[in-house]
């Protein structure tokens, strides 16, 4: 049975736009920060607990955070 919600181009679109992450642990305060909308490499995120801002970089398949 074919999944009517599956788009054959989904995997190509994912490759082109980058993986979307849904949470991160703050490098400054170690608090876990869930993001409902998600974020990608190149985005800027903010820790909801300490207020620090970070730019998301590629860390070899995992996000790496540098202060923005």
Q: Over 60: is that where the pLDDT of 65 sits?
A: yes
Predicted local distance difference test score (pLDDT) of residue 19: 87
Give domain limits for the chain. Answer: 21-67
pLDDT tens figures, 17-54: 578 999 999 999 999 999 999 999 999 999 999 999 99
Nearest partner of 47 among 29, 64, 66, judged by Cα: 29
Predicted local distance difference test score (pLDDT) of residue 61: 83
Contact between 56 and 42 (Cβ < 8 Å): yes
Predicted local distance difference test score (pLDDT) of residue 7: 45
The CATH topology of domain 21-67 is Rubrerythrin, domain 2 (2.20.28)
Long-range contacts of 53-57 (CB under 8 A, 24+ apart): 54/26, 54/27, 56/21, 56/24
């Amino acid at each position: 049975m074919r999944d009517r919600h599956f788009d054959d181009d989904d995997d190509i679109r994912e490759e082109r736009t980058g993986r979307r992450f849904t949470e991160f642990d703050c490098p400054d305060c170690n608090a876990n920060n869930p993001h409902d909308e998600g974020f990608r490499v190149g985005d800027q995120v903010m820790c909801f607990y300490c207020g620090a801002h970070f730019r998301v970089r590629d860390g070899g398949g995992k996000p790496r955070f540098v202060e923005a």
